[in-house]
Amino acid sequence: MLPGVMRLYVAVAVSTFRRYTAYRAATAAGVFTNIVFGFIVAYAYMALWHERPNLGGYGREQALTFVWISQALAAAMALLGGGFQEELQERIRTGEIAIDLSRPVDMQLWWLACDLGRAVFHLLSRGVVPLAVGALAFRLALPQSPLMWLAFLLSALLGAVVSFALRYLVALSSFWLLDGAGVNMVNGLLTMFFSGMLLPLTVFPGAFGETARLLPWAAVLQTPADVLLGRHHGSGLGRALLFQAGWVLVLLSAGRAMQLRATQRTVVQGG
Amino acid sequence: MRNKQHHGGRGRFENNGGIELEDVEKVFTLRRRTGVLRRSREEVRAVDGISFTVAPGEMVGYIGPNGAGKSTTIKMLTGILAPSGGRLRVAGIDPARERIRLAHHIGVVYGQRTTLWWDLPLRDSYTLVRRLYRVPARRFHRNLDRCVELLDLGALMDTPVRQLSLGQRVRGDIAAALLHDPAILYLDEPTIGLDAVSKVKVRGFLQDINAEHNTTVLLTTHDLTDIEQLCRRVMVIDHGRLVYDGTLDGLHTLGESERTLIVDFERVLPPVTVPGARTVKTDGPRQWLAIPADASAAPVVAAVAAHHPLVDLSIREPDVEDVIAAMYARLPRG
Ligand SMILES: Nc1ncnc2c1ncn2[C@@H]1O[C@H](COP(=O)(O)OP(=O)(O)O)[C@@H](O)[C@H]1O
Ligand SMILES: [Mg+2]
């Protein structure tokens, strides 16, 4: 038997999962888009890796695998928008947040459970299908060992939590900003670039590359992809997971601090 | 049935369903841009020194014009707004300091907002509510079955909330607010925009819940019929101040307010004359008769029906605004 608190968050995650199952047409359109983009980017990478073999330490097969993992994780990690933050921002803007505040529940964990429910749905729908199509159409460097897949799932889970924690900070900024559009746009751009969605972060040389690989966005996509590609093993795998867990800790704590300020502010000032 | 929890608190009602306010104030500060760099600060005293006590099991109406401070009071009573001054206790708890603990003792229904989840069927919303408040399975099912029956929700359980009509949604919300057996229920304009059938159902249900579980009810509304049928006591708030606290009849007497009897006759008649009423308007076969709101309409109706060919008849309660305006006319503000 799960303790009461866990059951609540499991119920929240399950209900969000089910909410998403209701939007079948949107899901199908999303899967289609991920596949189309997968092909476009795959051919672009093939041209690039033809000119510069071993770019970023990836062989051709690994580069193609990276493309399809990016497409498979794009929706789950909300790399191109989507997810809970727009809903939360809207609730803050309209004052519906008052209803959330009058519930006996921790807001951050509540939304984390929501977002993980969604992420699991998107991994199963918009993740599995594009990756399978990619694997049929190209020769990919996918691992044989179930343990590697398990490590990848763990890394993807940590990545999903990092992604959530970043977007929670963005969403909470709505308590202070009248219009969240600007912050959302900046966050969208940073995420797209620094997650590795455009190009693997390993291709960037020098101090810029070093820095990019240490930022939290790297923990969202680059790290899980490299885990699946087998680029981290032994203690390296441990370090990669620790890198993600570190960002989870830092960002969730920052979210808690911000949440405390935000609720104190609303409780005292109204709004 | 109620899950009694024991805890400290220095309120008069300790851990049961009472509400206490002492000189409670809420001042909002609005900062407005008046120039490129200049900003002006403006204070809105939404609640301006209110004191009252509601005993466990009481049903009290809380009425007043728009912007009077009703919703602000309710927000302070749930703990999502901290008062700027004064002291509040709900079930012995200081709401703003222990919002989450208080949540287990109260239920809140907003007529214009939903606490349900837009995309989820009612049934799933209730499952979440059950997990939120950790309601034991047996109690949950018993309460839910009762709500479903009395609020007529059976056919709606698998409908997503966004597809419900306003009346259905509010009924769904009321059920959600009561699944954890709160000792106190706040309703902020629950009947606004409801159809007649839903209104009757909601009122009947609230009466039952109060009679059975002794639930304390604080109700804001614009419909004096709600008050008349549910609350022996009514409090009137205006500009953040309590201007009346007593019975509805007393308020009517004070405001010299009148109910309107709308009568349709078989044919056009000259203005009828009936003791205890005066005809204020005629339009073809329809006539409007005013009767004092604190008097019974029955003798007037009987007299009209006895002497004239009656087709149809309805009664309109006075508007809250009218009653309050009339009350002011009699009772200069001080
Ligand atoms: N968050 C807020 N910030 C500033 N002013 C507010 C806020 N909430 C309410 N007010 C003001 O306080 C007054 C009382 O509002 P409210 O309690 O909503 O009235 P009611 O519910 O009786 O219609 C109004 O003048 C309203 O504009
Ligand atoms: Mg209001």
Residues from chain B that touch A8, judged by Cβ atoms under 8 A, are 131-132, 134
* Interchain contact B123–A (C-beta under 8 A): no
In chain B, which residue's Cα lies nearest the Cα of A87? B118
Neighbour order of strands in the sheet with B19-33: B39-54, B19-33, B85-90
Check pLDDT > 90 for residue A3: no
Around Cβ B38, how many Cβ atoms within 10 Å?
Answer: 8
- pLDDT value of position B258: 82
Q: Does B110 touch chain A (CB under 8 A)?
A: yes
Percent of chain A with pLDDT over 70: 98
CB contact under 8 A, B110 and A99: yes
Chain-chain contact of B127 with A15 (C-beta, under 8 angstroms): yes
Over range A91-109, report the average pLDDT: 89
Q: Are B265 and B310 in contact (CB under 8 A)?
A: yes
Quick one: closest CA in A to B27, which residue? A269
Orientation of helix A107-122 relative to helix A4-21, angle to 10°: 40
Q: What pLDDT was estimated at residue B187?
A: 96
Q: Does A271 fall in a domain?
A: no
Q: How confident is the model at residue B294, as a pLDDT?
A: 80
Instruction: Tell if the CB–CB gap between B104 and A104 is shorter than 8 Å.
Output: yes
Distance A156 CA to ligand 1 centre (A): 46
Q: Is residue B260 pLDDT above 90, yes or no?
A: no
Of A12, A104, A267, the CB nearest to B80: A267
A96 reaches B (C-beta below 8 A): yes
**Which DSSP string corresponds to B125-179?**
HHHHHHHHHT--HHHHHHHHHHHHHHTT-GGGTTSBGGGS-HHHHHHHHHHHHHT
The tokens describing B193, both together, are 């925009």
B1 — pLDDT class (breaks 50, 70, 90)? very low
Which tokens hold the place of A78? 């909300």
ipTM over 0.85: no
Is residue A87 a part of any domain in this protein?
yes
pLDDT at A111: 96
**Residue length of chain B:** 334
Start-to-end Cα distance in chain A? 40
Mean pLDDT, rounded, for A122-147: 96
Distance from CA of A207 to the nearest CA of B (A): 42
Closest CA to B217 of B197, B200, B202, B198: B202
What phi-psi label fits residue B310: left (phi over 0), alpha (psi between -120 and 50 degrees) or beta? beta
Neighbours of B212 (CB within 10 A): 10
Q: What is the predicted pLDDT for the residue at B331?
A: 57
Q: Is the pLDDT of residue B334 over 60?
A: no
Q: What is the mean pLDDT of residues B41-55?
A: 94
- H helix runs in A173-234, sequence order: 181-194, 206-214, 216-220, 222-228
- Domain assignment present for residue A164? The answer is yes
> B256 to chain A nearest CA, in Å?
37
**Residue B57, phi-psi category: left (phi > 0), alpha (psi -120 to 50), beta (remainder):** left
Write out A229-246 in H/E/C secondary structure.
Answer: CCCCCCHHHHHHHHHHHH
pLDDT-derived band of residue B5, with 50, 70 and 90 as boundaries?
A: very low
- Burial of B329: CB neighbours in 10 Å, binned 0-12, 13-18, 19+: exposed
**pLDDT category of residue B85 using cuts at 50, 70 and 90:** very high
The pLDDT mean for chain A works out to 93
Element (H or E) spanning A88, and its range? helix A85-94
Nearest residue, CB atoms, B131 vs list A11, A22, A268: A11
B131 contacts A12? CB cut-off 8 A: yes
Q: What is the mean pLDDT of residues B232-236?
A: 94
Residue B6 pLDDT exceeds 50: no
Q: A258: how many CB neighbours lie within 10 A of its CB? A: 18
Name the domain count of chain A. Answer: 1
- Centre of ligand 2 to C-alpha B56, Å, is 24
Q: Is A19 on the interface with B (CB under 8 A)?
A: yes
Residue A264 and residue A181 in contact, taking contact as beta carbons nearer than 8 Å: no
For residue A1, the model assigns a pLDDT of 54
Find the range with the poorest average confidence among B67-76, B92-101, B316-325.
Answer: B316-325
pLDDT bracket for residue B2 (50, 70, 90): very low
**For A235-261, what is the mean pLDDT?**
97
For the residues B259-277, what does the mean pLDDT come to?
Answer: 90
Provide the whole-model pTM: 0.84
Min Cα–Cα distance to chain A from B113, Å: 7
Residue type, B16: N
Q: A193-244, pLDDT tens digit by residue?
A: 999 999 999 999 999 999 999 999 999 999 999 999 999 988 999 999 999 9
The whole domain housing A82 covers 3-265
pLDDT tens per residue across span B302-318: 999 888 899 999 888 87
The pLDDT of residue B93 is above 50: yes
Mutate to test the pocket of ligand 1, among B25, B27, B28, B241 (most ligand atoms within 8 A of CB): B28
Q: Which element (helix H / strand E) includes B30?
A: strand B19-33
Confidence band, pLDDT 50/70/90 cuts, at residue B103: very high
Q: Do A267 and B104 touch (CB under 8 A)?
A: no
Predicted local confidence at residue B15, as pLDDT: 53
Between residues B192 and A2, which one has the greater pLDDT? B192
Average pLDDT over every residue of A133-159: 96
Asked if B104 reaches chain A (Cβ–Cβ under 8 Å), the answer is: yes
As a whole number, mean pLDDT of residues B62-82 equals 93
User: Which residues are CB-neighbours of A152 under 8 A, at least 6 positions away?
Assistant: A143, A224, A227, A228
Residue to mutate (ligand 1; options B72, B218, B237, B242; most atoms within 8 A of CB): B72
For residue A99, being part of any structural domain is answered with yes
Q: Is the minimum CB–CB distance between B28 and chain A shorter than 8 Å?
A: yes
Compute the nearest-CA separation of B289 from chain A (Å): 44
- Mean pLDDT of all residues in B320-327: 75
Would residue A60 count as lying in a domain?
yes
CA-wise closest residue to A119 among A40, A253, A224: A224
Cα–Cα distance, A171 to A30 (Å, whole number)? 24
pLDDT band at B7 (very low <50, low <70, confident <90, very high): very low
Are A11 and B128 within 8 A, CB to CB? yes
> Is the predicted pLDDT of residue A75 greater than 70, yes or no?
yes
Long-range contacts of A254-259 (CB under 8 A, 24+ apart): A254/A165, A254/A169, A255/A108, A255/A165, A255/A168, A255/A169, A255/A172, A256/A108, A258/A169, A258/A172, A259/A107, A259/A108, A259/A172
Going from the C-alpha of A168 to that of each of A114, A161, B246, B259, B333, the distances in angstroms are 12, 10, 48, 54, 49
Residue A56 belongs to some domain of the structure? yes
Is A269 in contact with B115 (Cβ distance < 8 A)?
Answer: no
d(CA A119, CA A113): 10
B80 touches chain A (CB under 8 A): yes
B17-33 average pLDDT score: 89
| Rounded distance between C-alpha atoms, residue B258 and residue B242, angstroms | 23
- Rounded Cα distance between B286 and B279, Å, is 11
Mean pLDDT over each residue of chain B, to the nearest integer: 88
Please identify among residues 103-142 of chain A the ones whose CB lies closer than 8 Å to any CB of chain B. 103-105
- 3-state SS class at B218: strand
pLDDT tens column, A159-192: 999 999 999 999 999 988 877 788 989 999 999 9
Asked if residue A36 has pLDDT above 60, the reply is yes
Q: What percent of chain A has pLDDT over 90?
A: 78
Distance in Å, alpha carbon of B218 to nearest chain A alpha carbon: 17
Chain B residues within an 8 Å CB radius of A101: 80, 99
* Tokens of residue A25, six digits: 């047409």
> Rounded to an integer, what distance in angstroms lies between the CA atom of residue A219 and that of residue A196?
10
Which range, B3-12, B102-111, B246-255, is most confident?
B102-111
Tell if the CB–CB gap between B127 and A103 is shorter than 8 Å: no
